[in-house]
């Protein structure tokens, strides 16, 4: 009896493991580049009643849009979408044959588009049945159905996680590009303001500069004599007035230079503040997107864990029921043997 129970548990565990890895839906992920004014098509041969799914995302190029079309073996359009950025479409096949998926970029004349997509091909209805004697039992069929559901759920979780990772990379790239552009534009504005300020300072200095020495060399040589004679002739009040005028000009020039430097400093601070705010905003958006992606992944993982626990409980319950049935069958067999022996002994005595 112990050997029989041990063999039953081992065979059930092996059956669970083999069924789990064998029933995973085939999934194919691709990255394809669609040139301008062209289209790319892919084909799959499937049977009637098979569940087929297409998930796609435009990750680069133009306005991030593409035309999508799914056709059946008879050429009938099953699904058609125009200028879509991303999407997910699932359907059940109605006939055997080759199904076609096409991505068209004919609306664009210059821009090339890069697309990430996955095609999920489920099991055909006849492929889910087994002819082995062990799996004809109702409990085994129930266990297989639960394992198949778990495999489908895990495949869906994996697809969603890959999809979220791609979207996170796309948003991170957009945030980095936006941040770099904002910083470069702020630096460019600061350089323009600084250049304009320096030009104005030099222009005003040249405008207020006093051209004292003449350009003629003869007059230039006589200039000290004339200056000395003028110093003697000009009254002391005139000299004081000239000094006051020069001092006032110097004071005005100094004030103008101080105000210009102050304006340059304020412009620089404003540019740094703008760049810092833009960088902080971009970083905050990237952080929120990453937290959102992590939360969705955590929820998906939690759902998969719950499904695994439910499956384990179902397997344990089935094994316990089988053990009880085997024990009862053994007890019935023992009772039957005892009855036969008693009848045989009674017959011998008679």
Close Cβ partners of 213 (under 8 Å, ≥ 6 residues apart): 220, 223
Give residue 71's pLDDT band: very low, low, confident or very high (50, 70, 90).
very high
Distance in angstroms (rounded) separating the CA atoms of residues 297 and 159: 11
Residue range 86-106, pLDDT digits in tens: 888 889 999 999 999 999 999
Closest CA to 324 of 12, 10, 1: 1
Residue range 10-37, pLDDT digits in tens: 333 433 333 433 344 445 568 899 999 9
Given a cut of 60, is residue 134 above it in pLDDT? no
Candidate from 18-22, 128-132, 184-188 with smallest mean pLDDT: 18-22
The whole-number pLDDT of residue 40 equals 94
Q: Dig out the tokens for 129 from the structure.
A: 């049945």
β-sheet bridge partners, residue 119:
28, 54
**Domain boundaries defined on the chain:** 1-23+135-210+221-350, 26-122
Kindly report the CATH class assigned to 26-122: mainly beta
Residue range 289-342, pLDDT digits in tens: 888 888 888 888 888 888 888 888 888 888 888 888 888 888 888 888 888 888
Given a cut of 50, is residue 109 above it in pLDDT? yes
Tell which wins on pLDDT, 232 or 160: 160
Give residue 229's pLDDT band: very low, low, confident or very high (50, 70, 90).
low
Give residue 3's pLDDT band: very low, low, confident or very high (50, 70, 90).
very low
The whole-number pLDDT of residue 102 equals 95
The whole-number pLDDT of residue 217 equals 54
Read off the pTM.
0.41
Neighbours of 236 (CB within 10 A): 7
């Amino acid at each position: 009896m112990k050997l029989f129970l041990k063999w039953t548990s081992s065979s059930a565990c092996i059956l669970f493991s083999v069924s789990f890895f064998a029933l995973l839906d085939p999934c194919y992920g691709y990255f394809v580049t669609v040139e301008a004014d062209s289209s790319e098509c892919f084909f799959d041969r499937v049977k009637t009643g098979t569940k087929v799914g297409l998930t796609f995302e435009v990750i680069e190029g133009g306005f991030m849009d593409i035309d999508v079309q799914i056709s059946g073996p008879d050429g009938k359009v099953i699904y058609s979408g125009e200028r879509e950025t991303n999407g997910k479409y699932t359907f059940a096949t109605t006939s055997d044959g080759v199904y076609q998926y096409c991505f068209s970029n004919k609306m664009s004349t210059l821009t090339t588009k890069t697309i990430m997509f996955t095609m999920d091909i489920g099991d055909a209805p006849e492929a889910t049945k087994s002819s082995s004697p062990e799996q004809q039992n109702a409990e085994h069929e129930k266990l297989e159905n639960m394992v198949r559901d778990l495999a489908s759920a895990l495949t869906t979780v994996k697809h969603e996680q890959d999809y979220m990772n791609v979207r996170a990379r796309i948003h991170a790239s957009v945030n980095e590009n936006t941040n770099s552009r904002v910083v470069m534009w702020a630096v460019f504005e600061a350089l323009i303001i600084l250049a304009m300020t320096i030009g104005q300072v030099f222009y005003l200095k040249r405008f207020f500069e006093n051209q004292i020495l003449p350009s003629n060399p003869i007059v230039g040589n006589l200039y000290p004599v004339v200056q000395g004679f003028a110093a003697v002739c000009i009254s002391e009040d005139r000299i004081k007035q000239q000094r006051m005028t020069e001092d006032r000009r110097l004071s005005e020039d100094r004030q103008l230079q101080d105000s210009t430097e102050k304006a340059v400093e304020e412009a620089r601070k404003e540019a740094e503040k703008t760049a810092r705010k833009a960088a902080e905003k971009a970083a905050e958006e990237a952080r929120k997107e990453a937290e959102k992606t992590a939360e969705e992944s955590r929820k998906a993982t939690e759902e998969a864990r719950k499904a695994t626990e439910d499956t384990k409980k179902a397997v344990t319950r089935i094994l316990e029921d089988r053990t009880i049935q085997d024990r009862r069958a053994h007890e019935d067999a023992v009772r039957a043997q005892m009855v036969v022996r008693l009848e045989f002994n009674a017959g011998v005595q008679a």
